[in-house]
Amino acid sequence: MICSSRDRVVDGWARPRSEPLREWFGLGLARALTIILAARDVDVPHHIRERFTHCDDLELLQIWIYEAATADCVDDLFRPCPNALETNGTSRQPH
């Protein structure tokens, strides 16, 4: 995995300002994520689908979509990337 490419995936993407629009956009990203994984024949357990649907971090959803493009299993989405840090120094990994 090339972390710098994954980190750049969110550059220039739309960042809705209103809360209803952010929620709608997030649901669309979550749906796109499940479609990509289904197309790759990756089994996605219900609790992981719920994690996608309830995630309110749009940048994290976009990173997961990027990872889904080459994922062989759902765990591939959650691999740590040593350079993937937020500006405050915390990991971008899901909680």
Here the tokens at position 2 are 């090339």
20 by Cβ neighbours in 10 Å (0-12 / 13-18 / 19+) ranks as: exposed
Q: Which residue has the higher pLDDT, 70 or 86?
A: 70
24-51 pLDDT, tens per residue? Answer: 889 999 999 999 999 999 999 999 999 9
Q: Residue 84 has what pLDDT?
A: 47
Pick from 71, 69, 27, 19: nearest CA to 49: 27
Distance CA 43, CA 24 (A): 25
What does pTM read for this prediction?
A: 0.69
Position 21 confidence tier, pLDDT thresholds 50, 70, 90 = confident
Predicted pLDDT of residue 30: 95
Tell me if 26 sits within 8 A of 55, measured CB to CB: yes
Instruction: Give me the residue label for tokens 């976009």.
Output: 62
